[in-house]
Amino acid sequence: MILNILDDRSSRVLYAVVESYINKPEPVGSRFVTKKYSFGFSSATIRNIMADLEEIGFLSQPHTSAGRVPTDRGYRYYVDSLLNLEKAISSSEMPREFMNQFSKRLEQIKDDISGMFSEVTSTLSSISNYVSIALPPKTEKATLNRINFIKYKGDHAVAILLTDEGIIKNRIFKIDPMVKQEDLNRIADYLNSEYAGYALDEIRSMLIQSMKREKAQWDKLISRAINIFEQALSFTEEDVFVSGLDDAMNLPDFSDISKIRELSKAIKDKHVIIKLLDELSDAEGVRVMIGNENPVNELKGLSVVASTYKEGNRPMGIIALIGPTRMNYSKAISMVDVIAKCVGRTFDDRK
Amino acid sequence: MILNILDDRSSRVLYAVVESYINKPEPVGSRFVTKKYSFGFSSATIRNIMADLEEIGFLSQPHTSAGRVPTDRGYRYYVDSLLNLEKAISSSEMPREFMNQFSKRLEQIKDDISGMFSEVTSTLSSISNYVSIALPPKTEKATLNRINFIKYKGDHAVAILLTDEGIIKNRIFKIDPMVKQEDLNRIADYLNSEYAGYALDEIRSMLIQSMKREKAQWDKLISRAINIFEQALSFTEEDVFVSGLDDAMNLPDFSDISKIRELSKAIKDKHVIIKLLDELSDAEGVRVMIGNENPVNELKGLSVVASTYKEGNRPMGIIALIGPTRMNYSKAISMVDVIAKCVGRTFDDRK
DNA sequence: ATTAGCACTCTGAGGTTGAGAGTGCTAACG
DNA sequence: CGTTAGCACTCTCAACCTCAGAGTGCTAAT
């Protein structure tokens, strides 16, 4: 936080510049500021203030004799003040009406996790016109409700894994054709009795223990069960839900195709996104990354507004907007905030 | 087919123009043609020929005193000749080496349908630099292998539907909490004995029949089973696999962002794509749609090269490339052809 | 039928200009 | 002392011009 290093007048001028520039991507001149935002000063005074703001790196000029444009640090100051206000005022920008409707919609489809997250990202992107991303609850952290095996085509079996969070994963794998469906059922029963209620990543480490133990004991059924479970657990690829790339192309900031390409590549490379968002997920509430604060090279020059959603107190996943640094932070923040809260509440209700 | 309406000389000139323009998106002049492709004629003669080709609508000039550019009809003539040759020569452009490797790769992952199709589209787009699209086997046409129900959280059940094609769909729905797992098992057993081996869309219409019948008979269990199956069958949304949008952005044809946006929107709207590709799927082998031949408005100005893949003789789905009309048709055709054949073969092997 | 030659057309890059916007500085002001 | 009017200065951007280069169509000669 770098708050309060500006006196009231300066910060008001900064806000004016930021807001005007967010509104229309044109350098903001002193004359314009005096006219549009009626401070009690002449343009000359504003000019002096703006020169000061430039000196401390909050504004910059594209060239001499153009107006000013906020720098990343300028946006940062602006956003920090916003977030400060936000705590008091809460998400006032989103109509309660909308929230209710959206909650209802989620309620209807909460049983279908991936459907629900498609809905979330597409709503978020369509109301914001930025690219929206959601990470569903992490599979590893989900708790096992039950696992089942179904014999398939003689020498295959399908593992179906259900978690308390409603995540369903399935996987086909080869088995010894001698193994009967009853065997599979017994294996499943054993595994369920042993592991249900634990988080999947806990289970994974428990398995490693067991494997050693059972190897010593040579219990055939159990060691086979553990083996199969091991296979079934390797549901590694995490889903990432993305929406709104095409809408974002309408933004003047993306008139240059190369930026879109960067963004689109970064999104395709899920690891990058997951890593980025994971980094944001440790903090409470809404977090904002501006331009070059962004650790991912491809995404410097873009801003990310993200919030975790929680079931009770446990953070489950993250919902984010990616847009140009010239982003409507105030709107974006409250949208992400509200939507994340709706999603969290939906998970709570599920119980 | 509009073949053979050109004499040999004219068509050779047309090919020259098309190929040169595909190679580099610059209007092709008579001088260039004479130099690069050594016909026995001077530029003046070529000019006359080109004027003729323009008259019948195979070439056009961006402006007086620019070179010529192929029209959609010009491309059509070119592609038709290609396809004619193709029948004899077959897909010679793709190295056999690559095909073998790719087949092996598919073989490894054939159990995971969606993984397999991601692989297919991403390879196809990366070797072609166009946008690649694949429709997996249609769920409705797939034959039911078995259905299972798992009780979940007291008042829910999960339906798991397996087809012979390896498609796995699952769906959570509410049930009367009084229904026990054993009841679900009995229901599943009944449904499997009754409906396994039929295509899902057949089953759907069979169900409608049964519902009437059973209503009269008041067999509680069976009518409940049918009801549940009805619910479970509504796995409507079809998957569409897409890859390569970002690579395609590198093409000079897409330097204008609005075209990419159109394409990206059309892709997001899955119905459009499915409808388009369905239309192409009735014919044998590779089919090509050029520019304004395309029925979808958003995609006029783009070309589609598509081929069905078949299990045995039954067409299952479709694989396509979308690119600018200035597309390397010869390469695209053989790539789509080869890949579709690989995919088909993989499905055959599965049996 | 083919071709050399030539007048003609059109584009696109490069250069010039002038209006407009905005600045920084200075000197005057309350 | 902070504020402001005034002014000279800077920079951009759109409009305009020019001209070389590429390519054409036509005609007359082969």
The tens digit of pLDDT for each residue in A224-255 reads: 777 777 877 776 667 899 999 999 999 999 98
What is the radius of gyration, based on Cα positions, of chain A? 26
B24 touches strand D (CB under 7 A): no
Q: Which of A146, A246, A268 sits opposite B264 (nearest CB)?
A: A246
Q: Nearest CA of chain B to the CA of A220: how many Å? A: 27
pLDDT tens digits for range A56-108: 999 999 998 899 999 999 999 999 999 887 665 555 666 788 889 999 999 99
Quick check: A170 and B172 CB within 8 A?
A: no
Note the pLDDT tens digit of each residue in A242-290. 999 999 999 999 988 888 998 999 998 888 899 899 888 877 889 999 9
Closest partner residue to B246 (CB to CB) among A246, A250, A261 is: A261
Is B146's CB within 8 Å of A148's CB?
Answer: no
CB B248 within 8 A of CB B267: no
For residues A30-42, average pLDDT: 90
A8 touches strand D (CB under 7 A): no
* pLDDT, position A219: 62
In chain B, count H helices and then E strands: 13, 10
* Contact in structure between B237 and B136 (CB atoms under 8 Å): no
pLDDT in tens, B304-316: 999 999 988 888 8
Which amino acid is located at B247 in the chain? D
pLDDT at A49: 96
What mean pLDDT is reported for chain B? 88
Shortest CA distance from A167: residue in chain B: B172
User: How near does any CA of chain A get to the CA of B99, in Å?
Assistant: 25
A-contacting residues in B 293-332 (Cβ below 8 Å) = none
Q: In what order do the strands lie in the sheet with A286-289?
A: A241-243, A131-135, A314-324, A302-311, A286-289
Q: Residue B90: its pLDDT value, please?
A: 58
For A63-175, list the strands marked E by DSSP: 69-70, 131-135, 144-152, 156-163, 168-174
Contacts of A105 (CB under 8 A, 6+ apart): A119
pLDDT of A192 above 90: yes
User: Residue A48: is its pLDDT beyond 90?
Assistant: yes
C-alpha B15 chain-centroid distance: 27
- Which residues of B, range 245-284, sit inside 8 Å of A by Cβ? 245-246, 249-250, 254-257, 260-261, 264-265, 268
Asked if A261's CB is within 8 angstroms of B156's CB, the reply is no
Would the CB atoms of B250 and A261 count as touching at under 8 Å? yes
Please check the confidence at residue A350 and state whether its pLDDT lies above 60: yes
How far, in Å, is the CA of B11 from the C1' of nucleotide C26? 77
Residue A71's pLDDT is what?
97
Of A152, A171, A249, the CB nearest to B261: A249
Q: What is the pLDDT of residue A147?
A: 92
The pLDDT value given to residue A235? 60
- By Cβ distance, the residue of B111, B153, B256 closest to A172 is B111
Give the pLDDT confidence of B210-254 residue by residue, as tens digits. Answer: 777 766 555 666 677 777 778 777 766 678 999 999 999 999 999
On whether the CB atoms of residues B289 and B278 are closer than 8 A, the answer is no
Q: Which of B150, B156, B268 sits opposite A160 (nearest CB)?
A: B150
A112 and B153: CB-CB below 8 Å? no
pLDDT score for A229: 78
pLDDT at A10: 94
Question: Among all chains, which residue has been given the structure tokens 């490693």?
Answer: A208
Average pLDDT over residues A45-56: 95
Report which residue is nearest nucleotide C1 when distances run from CA to C1'. Answer: B45
Who has greater pLDDT, B338 or A169?
B338
Kindly state the tokens that stand for A189: 């029963």
Residue scoring higher pLDDT (A350 or B305): B305
User: Residue B220's pLDDT is what?
Assistant: 66
Give the helix/strand (H/E) hosting B171.
Answer: strand B168-174
CB contacts < 8 A (A, B): 77
CB contacts of B264 in chain A (<8 Å) are 245-246, 249
What separation in angstroms does the CA of B304 have from each of A15, B285, B319?
Answer: 50, 14, 10
Q: Report pLDDT for B168.
A: 82
Contact B104, B123 (CB under 8 A): no
In this structure, what token pair is assigned to residue A279? 């980094």
Token digits for B31?
């001088």
Taking the C-alpha atoms of residue B102 and residue B29, their distance in angstroms, rounded to an integer, is 41
Inter-chain contact B148–A145, Cβ cutoff 8 Å? no
Residues B127 and B321: their CA atoms lie apart, in Å, by 11
List all nucleotides in chain D with at least one atom under 7 A from a protein Cβ: 3-6, 9-12, 21-27
| b/e code A216-252 from CB counts within 10 Å (16+ = b) | eeeeeebbbbbebbeebbeeeeeebbbbbbbbbbebe
CB spacing of B168 vs A162 below 8 angstroms: no
Nearest C-alpha of chain A: how many angstroms from B244?
Answer: 10
Condensed to tens digits (0 to 9), the pLDDT of residues B83-141 reads 887 665 555 666 788 888 999 999 998 888 888 999 999 999 999 999 999 999 888 88
Contact B166/A at CB under 8 A: yes
Could you read off the pLDDT of A115-150 as tens digits, one per residue?
899 999 999 999 999 999 999 988 888 899 999 999
d(CA B53, CA B37): 17
Contact assignment for A173 to B111 by CB distance below 8 Å: yes
| Sequence letter at residue A253 | D
Which residue in chain B is spatially nearest to A150 when comparing CA positions?
B148
Nucleotide closest to B66 measured between CA and C1': D23
DSSP code of residue A4: T
B10 is near strand C: CB distance < 7 Å? no
Could you tell me the distance in Å between the CA of residue B74 and the C1' of nucleotide C8? Answer: 28
Q: Are B207 and B229 in contact (CB under 8 A)?
A: yes
Torsions phi, psi for A52 (to 5 deg) = -60, -45
A314 vs A68, higher pLDDT: A68
Tell me the C-alpha distance between A125 and A132, whole Å.
5
From the CA of B9, how many Å to the C1' of D29? Answer: 25
Please give the radius of gyration of chain B, using alpha carbons only, rounded to the nearest integer.
Answer: 26
Residues A148 and B169: their CA atoms lie apart, in Å, by 15
Q: Token pair of A21, please? A: 């520039």
Q: In chain B, whose CA is at the least distance from the CA of A243?
A: B268
Q: Judge whether A152 is closer than 8 Å to chain B, CB to CB.
A: yes
Contact B276, B320 (CB under 8 A): no
Domains and their CATH numbers in chain B: 8-84 (1.10.10.10), 90-138+238-350 (3.30.450.40), 144-233 (3.30.390.60)
Q: Which residue is nearest to nucleotide D9 (CA to C1')?
A: A65
